[in-house]
Amino acid sequence: MAPRRPSGAGAFPVPVPVELPGTRRYDPAALYAALDLGTNSCRMLIAQPKGNQFHVVDSFSKSVSLGQGLEATGRLSRIAMGKTIHALRICRSKLQKRDVKRMRLVATEACRRASNAGEFIGQIRRETGLEVEIIKPEEEARLAVISCAPLVSAGTEQLLVVDIGGGSTELVWIDLTRVPRHDRARAIMRLHAGFKPADGSPFPAARVVDWISVPLGVATLREQFDDVHNDAARFALMSWFFEENLASFAPYAREQARDGFQIVGTSGTITTVAASHLGLRRYDRNRVDGLRMTTDQIDAVIREYLALGPDGRRADPRIGRDRHALIMSGAAILQALLRVWPTDRLSVADRGLREGLLYAQMSADGVLEEGGY
């Protein structure tokens, strides 16, 4: 399976964009919404601009398994579409209750791949009144990158941002050596406009060395090896298969100075591994988001997952009932990444596409105050 490649080479801190003369300004007290319809989950945030940040006022998350069976049939199933429509009706109710006018609702890999995706988007419109758009892999990668900008260390010179989704995994390698240390997080934020710097920009640019969208996520990778019944063997096969799909990524096996290289990982897999490492029986975002983990710490958690086996993982409160079936495929992806790029600086991000969508909307509307990190 060939990866997709580019045609060309709580509170969430954000910088303010440069507003052009005549640009319309929106009410800074208005509510914004962002919805991410993925291969496994339907998730939404409703937030309000607050200074140079935004404040989340409502959220929704539901496992809908939209991509179930897609690998075999190439189509979204009626059952999965029905579950998704039900979840979207709940989202519509929340949007109406809070009178949200500014929103962006997007679908990702499952809808990109399904032959009946267009019909499904039409069904969503008819049955819920919601306008959902299917975004391209590059935009998904950009949004994940900007959401993680506040976690970028001032000392980072080479940055790898990883977003492990249900149906695909996005990797973006960014060179920050030409950006002053104090401006590195802002330089990441400015990538929301595109991976190539704007001509004539007065700001030092973060250089995107390469990016890739591998069409393997926690759900699609698990489905590829569903016929392998031995738990440990299936995990090993998934991990090596995922690594094979990284071969065309330009920085593959690239050696970096350990003190200048950072990985920022965003996904349910990575936050679950972090919660297990911390021994959290109840998830605590404040303890997980921004946590820095080493390769050895992550390997220890994965070895524990393997020792537990399917039944033990199902009963483990740190993993959760919605994630136990997919945690090992996500762990296989994570292990493959750390095999190629071992690091003692993997920052865990409990943020991603939805936060990126909110930032992009608020930035375009000019409702954020100027401020730093």
Confidence at residue 365, expressed as pLDDT on a 0 to 100 scale: 84
Confidence at residue 196, expressed as pLDDT on a 0 to 100 scale: 76
125 assigned to some structural domain: yes
109 & 216 share domain: no
371 assigned to some structural domain: no
293: containing domain = 139-353
Strands (E), the chain: 32-37, 41-50, 53-63, 102-107, 132-134, 158-164, 169-175, 207-214, 261-266, 292-293, 346-349
CA dist., res. 123 & res. 120, Å (int): 5
372 assigned to some structural domain: no
18 assigned to some structural domain: no
* Total structural domains within the chain: 2
pLDDT, the chain, mean: 86
More confident residue, 81 or 196: 81
CA dist., res. 128 & res. 150, Å (int): 35
21 assigned to some structural domain: no
254 & 225 share domain: yes
Confidence at residue 203, expressed as pLDDT on a 0 to 100 scale: 73
Confidence at residue 357, expressed as pLDDT on a 0 to 100 scale: 93
Confidence of residue 164 (pLDDT cuts 50, 70, 90): very high
Residue 239 and residue 322 in contact, taking contact as beta carbons nearer than 8 Å? no
Determine the residue type at 158: Q
249 & 310 share domain: yes
CA torsion, ordered 319, 325, 331, 333, to nearest 10 deg: -150
Angle between helices 231-244 and 327-340 (to 10 degrees): 50
345 assigned to some structural domain: yes
224 & 90 share domain: no
Q: What is the CATH number of the domain that holds 221?
A: 3.30.420.150
Task: Tell me what percent of the chain is helix, strand and coil, each rounded to the nearest 5.
Answer: 40, 20, 40
126 & 160 share domain: no
pLDDT digits (tens, 9 = 90+) for 66-124: 998 888 899 999 999 999 999 999 999 999 999 999 999 999 999 999 999 999 999 99
What is the pLDDT averaged over residues 144-169?
91
Q: What is the CATH number of the domain that holds 105?
A: 3.30.420.40
Determine the residue type at 302: I
> Among 81, 100, 135, which residue terminates a domain?
135
Is residue 330's pLDDT more than 50? yes
Confidence of residue 265 (pLDDT cuts 50, 70, 90): very high
CA dist., res. 164 & res. 54, Å (int): 24
107 & 162 share domain: no
> Among 135, 170, 194, which residue terminates a domain?
135
201 & 299 share domain: yes
pLDDT digits (tens, 9 = 90+) for 342-371: 888 899 999 889 999 998 888 888 887 654
73 & 162 share domain: no
244 & 189 share domain: yes
158 & 299 share domain: yes
CA torsion, ordered 275, 281, 284, 288, to nearest 10 deg: -10
16 assigned to some structural domain: no
> Among 102, 135, 168, which residue terminates a domain?
135
Is residue 267's pLDDT more than 80? yes
Is residue 20's pLDDT more than 50? no
**Token pair for 60:** 């929704």
Confidence at residue 14, expressed as pLDDT on a 0 to 100 scale: 39
360 assigned to some structural domain: no
147 & 277 share domain: yes
285 & 257 share domain: yes
